[in-house]
Amino acid sequence: MRQFFVFARKEFYHIFRDRRTLLILFGMPIVQVIIFGFAITNEIKNADIAVLDQSKDHYSARLIQKLTAGSYFRIDRNLQTPKTIEAAFREGRIKMAVVIPPRFGQDFFHLRKAQVQLLADAGDPNTATTLVNYARAIIGNYQQELNGPAALPLTINTTVRMQYNPALKSVFLFVPGVMTLILLLVSAMMTSITIAREKELGTMEILLVSPLPPHLIVMGKVVPYIVLSFINALVILAMGVWIFGMPVKGSVVLLLAECVLFVLTSLGLGILISTVTDKQQTAMMASMMGLLMPTVLLSGFIFPVESMPKPLQWLSNIMPAKWFIIILKDIMLKGSGLREVWPQTLLLTGMTIFFIVLSIRKFKIRLS
């Protein structure tokens, strides 16, 4: 037991004396969460628009006020003539232009029909569609407001409510995703590198020619990373909750227990990689290409699994990350308990046991 303790302490020395390792361990999670949380979002926030109000009556002014009331749109400029629209788009600042024709209010009340033209910069089709939909919704609301409660002729209104993430905040997807990535990176990549380093520097040779049993060598190397990964998970969760307002509806204890489970899965993968590589470079490349890339692409973190071709959907099933992301989202957003997420949990547990048993069996007690 003392051997194990001293071994783990040695591992902490390695980590804390290497500035690069420290940076990867603690700098990267924070930076990634912030980048994904703030910068890379596909939600609409303060999109710049231009307004060409040719009517300039009470109703058009109200409409513009409605558009800018939320935090979705911000008026960059007011245009005077239709000709300037093109120029405004070319400048590149505005994403959408709203054109209100002359006699907007009059038409609405007398002809019972009025037009508003929305021009969007479809150079970025996703953003354009989203912007137009948002604007339409706002205009629709305004129309109802003007019509009053006596809405005749009868119309059917569809009310869409986005369940669990009503504001469509992409951060709710990114926090579980980034957490998964970081845990995978720290646990799998760092452990495979640290074991490969012992081989590369020749210290593994001495460790093998010592009474230390192999499983103790691996445990001593791995346990410090379990601790650090867990701290990372806590940091990311805390940032998600306090900076991005991510809810944790389910049990925090269950959430953390699932984190530990996923850390173990990743460690198993990391040890497995380290048993087949003996260079730090190779270990890093193997974890990057073999783990991170498929995880980013296939776990449903960025691209929805449902819209992938069938073979890729099957392939995504063997990604531990996919199941972990599902568990995280269910617990945090839906408030699910173990009763709902047990199939995924069982699957992850199975994978973990498989990886750890396989890597212990593959761990070499000799040099070749």
Contact residues: another protein, CB under 8 A: 2-3, 6-7, 10, 13-14, 17-18, 201-203, 205-212, 365-368
Q: Which is nearer to another protein, 14 or 66 (CB)?
A: 14
* Secondary structure letter of residue 158 according to DSSP: P
Q: Quickly list H helices, the chain.
A: 2-17, 19-22, 28-34, 58-69, 83-91, 104-110, 125-147, 171-184, 191-201, 203-208, 214-242, 252-276, 280-287, 293-298, 310-316, 320-329, 338-362
Which value, to the nearest 10 degrees, does the dihedral of the CA atoms of residues 261, 263, 268, 269 take? 120
Strand ranges across the sheet with 47-53: 73-79, 47-53, 96-100, 117-120
Q: Given the structure tokens 């776990």, which residue do they identify?
A: 299
Q: Which is nearer to another protein, 202 or 304 (CB)?
A: 202
Q: Which is nearer to another protein, 216 or 296 (CB)?
A: 216
Letter string b/e over residues 271-280, b meaning 16 or more CB atoms within 10 A of that residue's CB: bbbbbebbeb
Shortest approach of another protein to residue 26 CB, angstroms? 18
Half-sphere exposure of 15 (CA within 13 A, CB side): 25
CA gap 87, 80 in Å, rounded: 12
Q: Which is nearer to another protein, 162 or 367 (CB)?
A: 367
Shortest approach of another protein to residue 212 CB, angstroms? 5
Residue 82 CB coordination number (10 Å): 13
- CA 114 to chain centroid, in Å, comes to 42
Shortest approach of another protein to residue 217 CB, angstroms? 9
CA gap 180, 233 in Å, rounded: 9
Q: Which is nearer to another protein, 7 or 323 (CB)?
A: 7
Shortest approach of another protein to residue 360 CB, angstroms? 16
Q: Which is nearer to another protein, 208 or 254 (CB)?
A: 208
Shortest approach of another protein to residue 95 CB, angstroms? 52
Beta strand pairing call for 47-53 and 73-79: parallel
Q: Which is nearer to another protein, 74 or 364 (CB)?
A: 364
Shortest approach of another protein to residue 13 CB, angstroms? 6
Shortest approach of another protein to residue 7 CB, angstroms? 7
Residue 345 in tokens: 């949990």
Q: Which is nearer to another protein, 151 or 206 (CB)?
A: 206
Q: What angle do CA 175, 304, 185 make, to 5 degrees?
A: 45
Shortest approach of another protein to residue 202 CB, angstroms? 4
